[in-house]
Chain A
């Protein structure tokens, strides 16, 4: 980076954005150079998505200025931003899968002759754009015929049709497998060579280091700094994102203790397209960590053990006796509980109160004919609201109004009152603040100390190491290794295991 930097194609300076009660952005600067991949980094709530929304015209900034190619601009709508050459591809592919590939690329700008859509030219143009991404698709096939990765490429092709100068990729890789990520990166490099500035948002540090040239780090709505990627170590990056030096985290569990009472034994359990058959034993009082990248099959393992999905084959024994886990209800009958990763979609009922959400699973096990008596409800709910420090501590508050961390605790409370034998926690600490995170980690340790088995899934390897007695490593929807936790097991070892697929 010693050579003279070219003039930035985009310069945002002093951007401020206030939402009722929240200062989402405060004096944030962002510079994008032509022909670079620029990573926008930050924890959840750092202000990344607000900044992107300001840039793409979804929100208007309260303060600050945006300059595009040297000219001051202000976008009133996403459409205006697009027309100015700023295109966005979101995490969820925002295309119409019922339409053809060609239409998805060109709809709204179809080539026309006398007002009539010229389908032939449209298909040709679509093929042309896809060729730029080294893709050869049947452009008249409906988009639904293609995989998510391809759909993402189509979204990029769409973004490129307008003379894009800035391309924003908002977590494009979260649902892609390794090969698909590779394909995406090839495309990104190609676009970079064409002089397009790419703003890349990803939670995968490795990917950021692989593809990005520079990065801008945000924390709590403020700018931390702008750094060339190769000059910032991963540890420094994490420290800047979190805002504190990573204290050497104590392991909450010392060594792998001897567990001799198997609780749940899965033998060759699997489901086509979701997870290869795996064998895993979870003992009473044991915390088993599941490590692996997003999409490696972590959630799929959890869902099979809870009966949320039907297993395609294999056997499960609970407490030594064969068990059929065909439905969540059946799994609950065996004392298995599951806090799902996606709180909003698979966990909470937003319109119900904290109390109702907490007693829901208990009520479900009793059936509708035997209501939990109100006094018992109040007593249980109060106990857990207190124990988990759910705030506000009003059981009649609607869950939708709670913060993410408190929602997570409500979900946790729902399962804890069932006093399960195996608690499956899928990313229980994602998207919640540091304080709540530590509390949940402590709680896990306590619960396992009390004899409960825990299957703990987290994207953060440190967290997995900190809590688990044993770590099962997943890669590409296969369980590749089972490692006892101990001083010699470090995040580096885990990462190597993930990278090598356990073939060491």
Chain B
């Protein structure tokens, strides 16, 4: 129940955004089956939001260990580029996907090695791949945009399966696997423990290094899948622009979802909500008729608002008088909600 309380803010924001859409677009909430495919604005939000949700899920685990991964955008580009390169050289779809995801995972493990093995600050360690990765993606595509035309590959990002967009199914599968690993198995506890207090975790016998490497590898794998999805959707790979700034959106989604950048407790549900909020925001801006150029403006406002609401200092300043008399302990501790 406490976990639900933490999700109340993101839920409210999402609901508000959806309401705005309902007011502006007739039939916004209607979902229908056309030509064997599910159609509707809500489905579109899910479909276009799928890559972001994937990247954000991986990012959630990284942030929960107290880290951050700036390189996911570059990994998105690399994965798409490699897959399309393979396809354009008449390799099978399966080979292409396995190679792309394999490389992504390897790059993630590299990040993890820098963080856990060498002890470089995560923001800096992943900055390296963020910068170099773009170059690598362009190297793979030789600076060109590789166009592919493979119906099987097209399925990943643009296709449907049992009337549902395939990308949404992939997201559901990854979400289910992540939830299983972290909540049914003990990975989540160990991640939260490492993020909450790394030294104490080591002294409790947790192999923090292994977990950190695994988490970065997982984040990159998620980014790799998202990269396949994005390139499949547009049937081409663009080393320069694919996944550009998606790391920032993903971090934003995680923060909106209530996971602290300091590490520790994380919420997969919150992250999914956060990613959906970002995607819905984009949709809303279109539907309200605000010029799409201002999307970033709105995003800036949302970031600012969310961060302010989550900042203990802000809460204390704004809700100062209301909080003081009732609180039995300093306000700073009070705002931490039990999870």
CB within 8 Å of B: which residues of A? 20-21, 306, 308, 328-329, 332, 338, 340, 345-352, 356, 360-361, 363-372, 396, 398, 400-401, 414
Contacts and interface: CB of A to CB of B under 8 A. Distances in A.
Contacts of A370: 185-186
Given A21-B328, A369-B185, A328 B203 contact: yes
A347 B206 CA distance: 12
A349 B197 contact: yes
A349 B196 contact: yes
Given A363-B189, A364-B206, A349 B329 contact: no
A360 B190 CA distance: 8
B185 A368 contact: yes
Contacts of A363: 186, 189-190
Contact of B203 (A346, A352, A368, A372): A346
Interface in B318-339: 327-330, 333, 336, 338-339
14 contacts: A21-B328, A346-B200, A348-B197, A349-B200, A350-B196, A350-B197, A351-B264, A356-B189, A360-B189, A360-B201, A367-B186, A368-B181, A368-B186, A368-B190
B330 A20 contact: yes
Interface string B1-36: 000000000000000000000000000000000000
B205 interface: yes
Contacts of A401: 329, 333
A151 to B, nearest CB: 23
Contact of B329 (A20, A332, A348): A20
A365 B202 CA distance: 12
Interface string B98-114: 00000000000000000
Contacts of A345: 197, 199-200
A349 B201 contact: yes
Contacts of B330: 20
B162 interface: no
Interface in B166-210: 181, 184-187, 189-190, 192-193, 196-197, 199-207
| Chain B interface size, under 10 / 10 to 19 / 20 to 34 / 35 or more | 20 to 34
Residue among A361, A366, A372 facing the most chain B CB atoms (10 A cut-off):
A361
A360 B203 contact: no
A328 B202 contact: yes
A396 B206 CA distance: 21
B196 A347 contact: no
Contacts of A361: 204-205
Interface of B: 181, 184-187, 189-190, 192-193, 196-197, 199-207, 211, 264-265, 327-330, 333, 336, 338-339
A503 B201 CA distance: 41
A351 B196 contact: yes
Contacts of A360: 189, 193, 201, 204, 206
Contacts of B184: 371
Contacts, number: 95
Contacts of A372: 186
A328 B186 contact: no
A338 B202 CA distance: 12
Given A346-B203, A352-B193, A400 B264 contact: no
Of the candidates B184, B186, B205, B327, the one having the most CB atoms from chain A within 10 angstroms of its own CB is B205
A20 B207 contact: no
Contact of B207 (A306, A329, A396): A329
A361 B201 CA distance: 8
Given A349-B200, A363-B189, 5 more contacts: A20-B328, A328-B202, A332-B205, A340-B203, A368-B181
B203 A347 contact: yes
Nearest to A338: B203
Nearest to A363: B186
Given A348-B197, A351-B196, A351-B265, A20 B203 contact: no
Contacts of A332: 205
Contact of B185 (A348, A364, A371): A371
B72 to A, nearest CB: 23
Nearest to A306: B203
A332 B203 CA distance: 10
A400 B330 CA distance: 13
Contacts of A368: 181, 185-187, 189-190, 211
The 4 closest A-B pairs by CB, nearest first: A364-B205, A349-B196, A371-B186, A368-B187
Contacts of A367: 186
Contacts of B211: 368
Contacts of A369: 185-186
A17 to B, nearest CB: 14
A117 to B, nearest CB: 31
Given A20-B330, A21-B328, A401-B333, A364 B200 contact: no
B336 to A, nearest CB: 8
Contact of A20 (B193, B205, B206, B327): B327
Given A351-B265, A364-B204, A369-B185, A346 B199 contact: yes
Contacts of A346: 199-200, 203
